[in-house]
A and B are shown apart, each in its own frame.
Chain A
Amino acid sequence: MTVSVYVPTPFRNLTGNHSYVEAQGDTVEELLNDLGVRYPALRNLLGANGDEVPAHVNIYVNSHEIHTLQGKATPLKDGDEVAVIPAIAGGQVLTPEQVMRYSRHIVMPQVGPIGQRKLLAAKVLVVGAGGLGSPVNLYLALAGVGTLGIVDFDDVDLSNLQRQILHHTRDVGRPKVESARDTIAAHNPDVQVIPYREPLTSANAIDIMSGYDIVVNGADNFATRYLVNDAAYLSGKPLVDGAIFLFEGQAMTFIPGQGCYRCLFPAPPPPGLVPSCAEAGVLGMLPGVIGAIEAIEAVKLILGLGEPLVGRLLIFDALAMEFRQVKLRRDPKCPLCGDDPTIHELIDYEEFCGAPLPAAQNEA
């Protein structure tokens, strides 16, 4: 039986820099012995010749770790794919539990143990623990993003539970950041949550953002939206942004210098023109779609994968079940990121938007 074996980056110097090698065997044990013959340097690492596979190496057959199958006696058939995934990469150790927990990511060559270490080392600030903030925080936590800062001054309200999957019925009345921290801890103890139970303001935004690599926006009002945009740009942080209303959503990623929210919408609508979600409603699953897209964007940025949603505005229409994209250009006349900027520090966003920053009013 000849099967293809995926060799991750740290072991590739032992296999002539091949990502995939072929080896023979009717069971995993025979395969490992054959690999040891073909690549003697791999022999010790893999525990060939009857030794146990070392605890820091996991072996997968078609994405299933062999301890969940029949161990080294797991039979192989033509076309199977075997992956050899070490927990140690570049000095930092993934525990065996982490290797198992994140195995569906680690087994993908685009992530691998090094990518998983990047996720565990990443620090993401999520503005909001509500509709969008819930799926963003949950998915980033499940992926093992090591540090999540969550800014939300609000308490859980019964009307939040139709869509805000971070919170449960028993959490009604509790601060959202505390409910979020408990939910995340129950999902993944690897994640450190840093709660900020306060509104984001011109006075604290730059300081809070300074400790993070990426900012993800789940704000529910224009004043905060422009504040987050300006603070992320002035801090030089990538910003993943999303917005939802009724049955529609928007998502975009801003890399400093490649356009910002002000390039897209130079000014907010006058207060009262656009109703809030509390007034107009929002489909409960909609933040799930847009929030998951925001989480994907953040993970892509952390891993350096693919093409971020930069220079494009993604529009989702749930009723038509349609995604569309329009171009989003850096505006040379943008007062923040244009050629001759006039905004060099955070401004008064209540004045700019003609509406107060939220302290405890509208619920979106």
Chain B
Amino acid sequence: MTVEVRVTATLQNLVGGQKVVRGQGETVGQVLTDLEQRYPGFQTQVLTEDGALHRFVNIYLNDEDVRFLQKLDTPLTEGDVLSILPALAGGNR
């Protein structure tokens, strides 16, 4: 399965400045592993050492937060779009 992965904000630096990359896998977690192989260091920005999602990064399958699905085990189907969205703080000063 190949899905589109949309990478926002600071995380784009990890994939050579691209906004959209393609990832392979049957689940969200497998796609992250695939991206790690091509973009070493990517996974550590998204996952903790224990392999869980960082709490300041959200992954959306289409428009649904995977934390409310099956997290990293969430299965993918052809045509799905994953979005990886880190918390932003800017605004004021």
Quick check: is A246 within 8 A (CB to CB) of the other chain?
yes
**Given A245-B10, A265-B58, A268-B56, CB of A362 within 8 Å of CB of B93:** yes
Decide: B10 and A275 in contact? CB cutoff 8 A: yes
Residues of B within 8 A of A173 (CB): none
Residue-wise interface mask of A (108-141) relative to B, using a CB-CB cutoff of 8 A (1 in contact, 0 not)? 0000000000000000000111111100000000
Can you name 16 A-B residue pairings with CB atoms under 8 Å? A130-B93, A132-B91, A132-B92, A217-B91, A220-B90, A224-B92, A243-B87, A248-B9, A264-B58, A267-B55, A268-B89, A269-B54, A317-B8, A325-B63, A329-B65, A364-B91
Q: In the complex the two chains form, what is the Cα distance from A218 to B90 in whole Å? A: 8
Q: In the complex the two chains form, what is the Cα distance from A302 to B46 in whole Å? A: 38
Decide: A364 and B89 in contact? CB cutoff 8 A: yes
Quick check: is A15 within 8 A (CB to CB) of the other chain?
no
For A327, give its contact among B57, B64, B87, B92 (CB under 8 Å). Answer: B64
**What total of chain A residues lie within 8 Å of the partner, measured CB to CB?**
57
Decide: A222 and B89 in contact? CB cutoff 8 A: yes
Quick check: is B25 within 8 A (CB to CB) of the other chain?
no
Give me 18 other A-B pairs in contact (C-beta within 8 A), A221-B92, A245-B90 excluded: A131-B93, A132-B92, A152-B93, A154-B92, A218-B91, A225-B89, A245-B10, A248-B88, A268-B56, A274-B87, A274-B89, A275-B10, A324-B83, A325-B63, A327-B60, A328-B65, A329-B65, A364-B93
Decide: A326 and B65 in contact? CB cutoff 8 A: yes
For A266, give its contact among B55, B60, B88 (CB under 8 Å). Answer: B55
Residues of A within 8 A of B8 (CB): 248, 315, 317
**Given A245-B9, A264-B58, A267-B55, CB of A250 within 8 Å of CB of B88:** yes
Decide: A358 and B89 in contact? CB cutoff 8 A: no
Category for how many chain B residues contact A: 20 to 34
- Which residues in window 187-214 of A have CB below 8 A to B? none
Shortest beta-carbon distance, B62 to chain A, in Å?
A: 8
Shortest beta-carbon distance, A259 to chain B, in Å?
A: 11
Residues of A within 8 A of B83 (CB): 324, 326
Quick check: is A282 within 8 A (CB to CB) of the other chain?
yes
**Given A327-B65, A329-B65, CB of A220 within 8 Å of CB of B92:** yes
Decide: B92 and A152 in contact? CB cutoff 8 A: yes
Q: In the complex the two chains form, what is the Cα distance from A225 to B89 in whole Å? A: 7
Residue-wise interface mask of B (37-81) relative to A, using a CB-CB cutoff of 8 A (1 in contact, 0 not)? 000000001000000001111101001110110000000000000
Decide: B9 and A131 in contact? CB cutoff 8 A: no
Residues of A within 8 A of B90 (CB): 131, 220, 243-245, 276-277, 282, 364
Residues of B within 8 A of A154 (CB): 92-93
Decide: A243 and B55 in contact? CB cutoff 8 A: no
Residues of B within 8 A of A325 (CB): 63
* Chain A residue with Cβ nearest B68: A329
Residue-wise interface mask of B (4-45) relative to A, using a CB-CB cutoff of 8 A (1 in contact, 0 not)? 000011100000000100000000000000000000000001
Q: In the complex the two chains form, what is the Cα distance from A276 to B67 in whole Å? A: 27
